[in-house]
Amino acid sequence: MADTKSAAPRVTYATLAAGQTPEFNKAYDEAVERVKATLGRTHGFLIGGKEIAAKETFADTSPSDTRVVLGRFASGTRADAQTAIVSARKAYETVWRDLPWRERVAYIRKAAEVIEKRRFDIAALMGMEVGKNRLEAMGDAQETADLMNYYCDQVERHQGYEVPMERLSDQEDNRDVLRPYGVWVIISPFNFPMALSGGPSSGALLGGNTVVFKPASDTPLTGLALAECYREAGLPPGAFNYVTGPGSSIGEELVTNRDVDGILFTGSREVGYEIYRKFSRAYPKPCIAEMGGKNPAIICASADLDAAGDGVLKSAFGLQGQKCSACSRIYVHRSVAKAFTEMLVEKTRKIAIGDPVKKENWLGPVINKAACDKYARFVEIGRKDGKILAGGEQLKGEPYDHGFFVRPTLIGGLPKDHRLMHEEMFLPITCLWEVSSVDEALDLANRTDYGLTAGLFTSDEKEIKKFFDRIEAGVVYVNRRAGATTGAWPGINPFGGWKGSGSSGKSSGGPYYVAQFMREQSRTLIRG
């Protein structure tokens, strides 16, 4: 993968629209050609610094065109997971645990530098593997480097988390230190295959732990790109191990093996909560589970409707609605409901759909056939119990026939406690309900098991205060055209869920993140 230096502007999720300059597009197009030349190879695990081939492999294909095989990847077994855990344990005990924290910071800063240099190639392969449009993909790559640097800043700010304490006598030297746990497993989802792998793994590594990392089976190639960046940064062999294969076999071993000391999982509530329940056996062990969302946007009578329309559109349909923070519920005041709905339908119809690697397309494919089938089922439910206001069909004909392209869909007219108000769909589908006050909207917004993100559009200060005070969600936004419920950035908008959306109450990209990968030790030394 080539290192690219570019004058193209720095892309974050909040500045996506401004990012697509001619320089950016040129650098991205060149990266696509470089990446295409590397596709189709067979890849093993990276364990203990060595590539290890597997007996069985699986094909990683592009959701835009399933005839394109991006690579073949090792289909790991429980035994392969055990090998990776042993390697991580050895690296922990012989090298990584005892490294001065400044050296660990230097390794992670180097990894961030490598990612930043390769960001166009990483973004190009995410376009092909995940179906992200070019700016969303660049945001993911850039965020990974920024998360790593932010976590390094935190470790430096806390001087390696060693705090001198008070003393009861002159002979005493009392210190409070944060120490690593040992081996952490990082399991990531398909939708942010770089940021949600690089962020958590760098947090664990900075905490002095070693890592076994398993990407989603839909995105092993981006996972491999991360592993290669760590290798290029010169991490000691075994500090970061990369394994691939089904969650049901290799993943099962990773979450039940007694030699694993901590887990950071990001993915669905169904899988995350199951892992959370079964991970601790002999004694409690840390399991950070970042899970799904059912994120509401509330549009009040005094809202700037155009800003609200843009914000909802971007959050409901960006990355095909496959963001944990996707806006999948809209509560709009009845006095502006008609105008808002007509505008949103109009904006939705204008969305350009197609191969997201091409600069003109904003909406790419959903991730796989299962997602397509799920889309058809939810649309059918919406049609039966409510009304399809926009979209509602799979795209057919060239150039869509070999990929998983569906129309962004707006559903109205559903009863207020309908299952689509509670279930995460993880698709480009959002539902709209009319409400008569911000109080009613807040009650409905909080009436789910999830609590990840939420948005409000209003010009009324009292409504803003009420929203901040009462909404049950970890990440909340008011009047944000760039995304009603989506778009966080390290050190700017920390990101984590409440209730069924997250187990730790701490946020990635926030000031309390790295400390989660460590445990406290109170040290008392008596001299003389």
Q: Do residues 194 and 140 touch, judged by C-beta distance below 8 A?
A: yes
Structure tokens at 326: 């996707």
Q: Give min distance, CB of 435 to ligand NDP, in A.
A: 25
Cα–Cα distance measured from residue 204 to residue 264, given in angstroms and rounded to the nearest whole number: 9
Between 408 and 412, name the residue whose CB sits nearer to ligand NDP: 408
Q: Give min distance, CB of 263 to ligand NDP, in A.
A: 9
Interacting residues with ligand NDP (CB under 6 A):
187-192, 196, 214, 216-217, 246-248, 251-252, 255, 266-268, 271, 275, 290-293, 324, 424, 426, 452, 497, 501-502
SS3 state at 260: coil
Buried b (16+ CB within 10 A) or exposed e, 485-503: bbbbbbeebbbbbebbbbb
Residues facing 434 on adjacent strands? 332
DSSP string of 187-244, one letter each residue: E--SSSTTHHHHHHHHHHHHTT-EEEEE--TT-HHHHHHHHHHHHHTTPPTTSEEE--
Between 64 and 244, name the residue whose CB sits nearer to ligand NDP: 244
Q: Which of 78, 290, 84, 109 is nearest to 205 (CA)?
A: 109
Residues facing 333 on adjacent strands? 435
Q: Give min distance, CB of 44 to ligand NDP, in A.
A: 17
Q: In 10 A of CB 270, how many CB atoms?
A: 10
Between 337 and 425, name the residue whose CB sits nearer to ligand NDP: 425
Q: Give min distance, CB of 140 to ligand NDP, in A.
A: 11
H or E segment to which residue 5 belongs: none
Between 271 and 389, name the residue whose CB sits nearer to ligand NDP: 271
Residue 431 appears among annotated catalytic residues: no
* Cα separation of the two ends of the chain: 58
Between 295 and 458, name the residue whose CB sits nearer to ligand NDP: 295
Between 140 and 463, name the residue whose CB sits nearer to ligand NDP: 140
Between 78 and 358, name the residue whose CB sits nearer to ligand NDP: 78
> Torsion over CA of 475, 480, 485 and 486, rounded to 10 degrees?
-90
Buried b (16+ CB within 10 A) or exposed e, 348-383: beebebbbbbbeebbbbbbbbeebbebbeebbebbe
From 290, 424, 434, 463, active-site residue? 290
Q: Give min distance, CB of 250 to ligand NDP, in A.
A: 8
Q: Give min distance, CB of 275 to ligand NDP, in A.
A: 6
Residue 290 appears among annotated catalytic residues: yes
Helices (H), 297-333: 305-317
Structure tokens at 148: 């790593």
By CB atoms closer than 10 A (0-12, 13-18, 19+), residue 34 is middle
List C-alpha distances in Å: 304 to 264, 300, 309, 310, 500.
Answer: 39, 9, 9, 10, 31
Q: Give min distance, CB of 288 to ligand NDP, in A.
A: 10
Q: Which residue is nearest to ligand NDP (CB)?
A: 247
Q: Give min distance, CB of 223 to ligand NDP, in A.
A: 9
Between 208 and 428, name the residue whose CB sits nearer to ligand NDP: 428
DSSP string of 144-192, one letter each residue: HHHHHHHHHHHHHHTGGGEEE---SSTTEEEEEEEEE-SEEEEE--SSS
From 152, 229, 324, 431, active-site residue? 324
Q: Which residues are catalytic?
A: 290, 324
